[in-house]
């Protein structure tokens, strides 16, 4: 935000890849009165949001909702299915894959981290080769980030599942969809995922504070013998009471009000339309980046994220200094470079409660900021995006 002594007019443009802008409808729902979380009205709310999450995950299986960030859902996925010393295979796709790996190591799991350059998604062929070599089935789980928020690269989860199945390996497949659920097409059941991890603050258009596990029957079976310590995160405790709409401990009632509203918004637009909208805005953003003469971090076009675009700064220029200029002059926040990419990239979020004019304002702020910060670039990026949006808007539903 702007310094406390300044009073900028208009709204702040929060264009980081999450937390995203919360729609007014959702804010008003969260503003509802808090109710008895053991009363009948809450039971109706609990059943509604649990059923709604199944539609968004595209699963017939169980979904668990925690009052937590996505990090909590990472931990829940691991502690409910694995035992101390178990070996797991993870793909190094970026900063968040690395954080999940570090969490697993703190849980005393043995992590084999397949090296990556932070410009690609997970490599299904590489995963398949490693599992084929694991004749003793020591690897108990494969963990992949669907949409790497630090890089703007999407992993092909269906191809990873096919690679696992081709080897006949029994490893569980766990997928992080924290920055893709509700923004990028995702199919828990169809793609054979065992545990899907998600959070509330991105495509679901809520503040941070809710996290989710979608769970397969195979994962539930594994939880019966898993020996990692768990209490708060225990699926068994949650699933014993969830069918009635209740939780074993005090839930985040008002965030659940917001979740119900967000679910209604997503279903009213239609998930396929939501995904198409994000893809269209991603393409418009990339056209602007190319017109500026800047480099997109993600290398393969088929892996481009519909939710965000990471842009490489020209050599000798600071991404953080540029972001500061944009914030100071235009009251807009852009995503910073994380981990290995610190000060080397900036990230444009184009997900959640987002439309054409929001994108136009965002890209205008970026282009003006490039000029103010003295970053070498070509003019016309915004116009390239406008041309694409105008051309494709004719194909959008009235």
- 8: pLDDT confidence band, cut at 50, 70 and 90? confident
- CATH number of 341's domain: 3.90.1150.10
Enclosing domain of residue 173: 24-267
- 395: pLDDT confidence band, cut at 50, 70 and 90? low
- CATH number of 164's domain: 3.40.640.10
* pLDDT at residue 398 in the model: 46
Are residues 131 and 115 both part of a single domain? yes
Are residues 143 and 283 both part of a single domain? no
Are residues 228 and 138 both part of a single domain? yes
Q: Nearest Cα to 168, choosing from 144, 216, 133, 196?
A: 133
Tens of pLDDT, residue by residue over 341-374, are 999 999 999 999 999 999 999 999 999 999 999 9
Are residues 312 and 180 both part of a single domain? no
- 6: pLDDT confidence band, cut at 50, 70 and 90? low
Residue 31 in any domain: the answer is: yes
**Token couple for 376:** 């070498």
Are residues 339 and 199 both part of a single domain? no
* pLDDT at residue 252 in the model: 97
User: Looking at the 3D structure of the chain, how many domains does it have?
Assistant: 2
Percentage of residues of the chain with pLDDT beyond 70: 97
Are residues 99 and 155 both part of a single domain? yes
Percentage of residues of the chain with pLDDT beyond 90: 96
Last residue of a domain, one of 267, 295, 315: 267
Residue 6 in any domain: the answer is: no
Q: What mean pLDDT is predicted for residues 382-394?
A: 95
**Mean pLDDT, the chain, whole residue set:** 96
Residue 179 in any domain: the answer is: yes
Are residues 262 and 290 both part of a single domain? no
Residue 219 in any domain: the answer is: yes
Tens of pLDDT, residue by residue over 367-376, are 999 999 999 9
Last residue of a domain, one of 221, 248, 267: 267
* pLDDT at residue 163 in the model: 98
Q: What mean pLDDT is predicted for residues 103-128?
A: 98
Residue 215 in any domain: the answer is: yes
Are residues 256 and 286 both part of a single domain? no
- 394: pLDDT confidence band, cut at 50, 70 and 90? low
H-type helices in the chain, by residue range? 24-30, 40-57, 70-79, 95-106, 124-133, 157-167, 217-223, 235-241, 253-269, 271-292, 319-330, 356-372, 381-393
Are residues 185 and 247 both part of a single domain? yes
Count CB neighbours of 137 within 10 A. Answer: 13
Tens of pLDDT, residue by residue over 242-277, are 999 999 999 999 999 999 999 999 999 999 999 999
pTM comes to 0.96
Residue 190 in any domain: the answer is: yes
Q: Flag whether pLDDT at 209 surpasses 60.
A: yes
Tens of pLDDT, residue by residue over 47-75, are 999 999 999 999 999 999 999 999 999 99
Last residue of a domain, one of 267, 298, 315: 267
Residue 365 in any domain: the answer is: yes
Residue 323 in any domain: the answer is: yes
* pLDDT at residue 5 in the model: 46
Task: Provide CB contacts within 8 A for 158, sequence distance 6+.
Answer: 187, 190, 191
Dihedral pair phi/psi, residue 114, rounded to 5°? -75, 120
Are residues 211 and 153 both part of a single domain? yes
Are residues 108 and 94 both part of a single domain? yes
Q: What mean pLDDT is predicted for residues 140-153?
A: 98
């Amino acid at each position: 935000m702007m310094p406390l002594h300044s009073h900028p007019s208009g709204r702040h443009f929060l264009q980081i890849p999450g937390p995203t802008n919360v729609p007014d409808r959702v804010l008003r729902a969260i503003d509802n009165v808090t109710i008895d979380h053991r009363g009948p009205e809450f039971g109706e709310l609990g059943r509604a949001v649990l059923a709604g999450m199944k539609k968004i995950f595209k699963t017939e299986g169980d979904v668990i909702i925690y009052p937590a960030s996505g990090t909590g859902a990472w931990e829940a996925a691991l502690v409910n299915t694995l035992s101390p010393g178990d070996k797991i295979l993870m793909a190094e796709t970026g900063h968040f894959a690395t954080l999940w790996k570090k969490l697993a190591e703190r849980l005393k799991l043995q992590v084999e981290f397949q090296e990556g350059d932070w410009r690609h998604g997970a490599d299904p062929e590489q995963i398949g080769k490693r599992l084929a070599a694991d004749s003793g089935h020591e690897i108990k789980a494969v963990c992949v980030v669907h949409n790497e928020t630090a890089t703007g690269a999407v992993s092909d989860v269906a191809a990873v599942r096919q690679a696992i199945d081709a080897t006949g390996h029994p490893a569980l497949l766990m997928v992080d969809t924290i920055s893709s659920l509700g923004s990028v097409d995702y199919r828990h059941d169809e793609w054979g995922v065992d545990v899907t991890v998600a959070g509330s603050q991105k495509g679901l258009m809520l503040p941070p504070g809710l996290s989710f596990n979608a769970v397969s029957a195979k994962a539930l079976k594994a939880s019966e013998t898993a020996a990692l310590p768990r209490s708060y995160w225990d699926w068994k405790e949650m699933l014993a009471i969830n069918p009635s709409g209740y939780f074993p401990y005090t839930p985040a009632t008002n965030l659940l009000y917001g979740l119900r509203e967000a679910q209604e918004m997503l279903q009213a637009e239609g998930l396929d339309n939501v995904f198409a909208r994000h893809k269209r805005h991603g393409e418009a953003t990339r056209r602007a980046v190319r017109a500026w003469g800047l480099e997109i971090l993600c290398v393969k076009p088929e892996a481009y994220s519909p939710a965000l675009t990471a842009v490489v700064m020209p050599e000798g220029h600071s991404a953080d200094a540029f972001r500061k200029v944009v914030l100071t002059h235009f009251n807009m926040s852009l995503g910073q470079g994380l981990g290995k990419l610190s000060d080397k990239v900036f990230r444009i979020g184009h997900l959640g409660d987002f439309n054409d004019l929001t994108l136009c304002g965002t890209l205008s702020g970026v282009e003006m900021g490039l000029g103010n910060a003295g970053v070498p670039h070509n003019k016309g990026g915004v116009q390239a995006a406008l041309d694409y949006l105008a051309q494709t808007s004719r194909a959008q539903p009235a």
